[in-house]
Amino acid sequence: MKDVRALVVTGFGINCEEETAAAYRLAGAQARIAHLNDLFLEKLWLHDYQILHFPGGFSFGDDLGSGKVLANKMRYKRLKGGELFFDHLERFLADGNYILGICNGFQALVKMGLLPNIAGSFEQEVTLTRNNSAKFEDRWVTCRARPDATPFLKGIELIDLPVRHGEGKLVLRDAAVQAAVLEQGLNCLTYVDQAGEATEDYPANPNGSALCCAGLTDPSGHVFGLMPHPEAFLSIYNHPDWPRKVREGGTRAPADESGQGLQIFRNIVDHVAGKGE
């Protein structure tokens, strides 16, 4: 097994970096928090890591739509040698590494074309826009995962997670994109109702997202983005209904007090480390 190194970017209004880094450390990885400018100035080397993480927050104040300015900055920023930073992202993925974006990070991933990237050309195919409720939603939801779509979701079926967003509604560019997403199973995390059925109905679906989508992966399974916050459910005691969860055996093991969100980080760290191979 190899050591796993995760790079968690921050700066420009990102504000969930500490709990995100804590999640990777609890999962057994080495985690470094770095300002995005440190990558642009090449003070550290992206390719020294196997996981790149874009956390939640309010990058650039969401002034031009959530994640749009951040996406453009990463897409068009040139490094000292004249190479685009985005070229490094492409190489990072080509080398078999992984990228995870949560909430604002998910918004940035879709707007720079990393998700769902059906055509493989890194062009934007979907967007995340204002909730149907026209307000910021800050509460817990239940999602159903497709565990075979990406290593991030291995062994997960139903998962409770908090949402904290004003622009989480997935809109697909056209019918062809929708058909490809469905055919390839890229809609890997969906909002469900109390019966466990996928729903576009409020409030179980907090934003009116098409395909009931709470998270997308790319065809390789190496890029994963989701609107809910798994880094905010690292302990069973984060859950508003934790006494019932404990009584009903909703923890990973009888003596385990970890929250369901931690499983996503454990999954990818174990996968990169080669456990179980």
Structural domain harbouring 106: 5-273
Tokens of 259: 């929250």
pLDDT at 12: 93
Q: What is the pLDDT along the chain (277 residues), one digit of tens a residue?
A: 579 999 999 999 999 999 999 999 999 999 999 999 999 999 999 999 999 999 999 998 877 778 999 999 999 999 998 999 999 999 999 999 999 999 999 999 999 999 999 999 999 999 999 999 999 999 999 999 999 999 999 999 999 999 999 999 999 999 999 999 999 999 999 999 999 999 999 999 999 999 999 999 999 999 999 999 999 999 999 999 988 878 876 555 445 789 999 999 999 999 999 975 5
Q: Catalytic site residues?
A: 103, 229, 231
What global pTM score does this model have? 0.95
Cα–Cα distances (Å) from 149 to 154, 205, 254, 261, in that order, read 8, 21, 28, 17
Q: How many domains does the chain have?
A: 1
**Beta-bridge mates of residue 54:** 101
pLDDT at 62: 75
**Is 43 in contact with 81 (CB distance < 8 Å)?**
no
Q: Exposed (0-12), middle (13-18) or buried (19+): which is 66, by Cβ within 10 Å?
A: buried
Report the CATH number that the domain containing residue 134 is assigned in CATH.
Answer: 3.40.50.880
- Given the DSSP bridges, would you call strands 169-172 and 126-129 parallel, antiparallel or unpaired? antiparallel
pLDDT at 249: 67
pLDDT at 250: 58
**Is 35 in contact with 277 (CB distance < 8 Å)?**
no
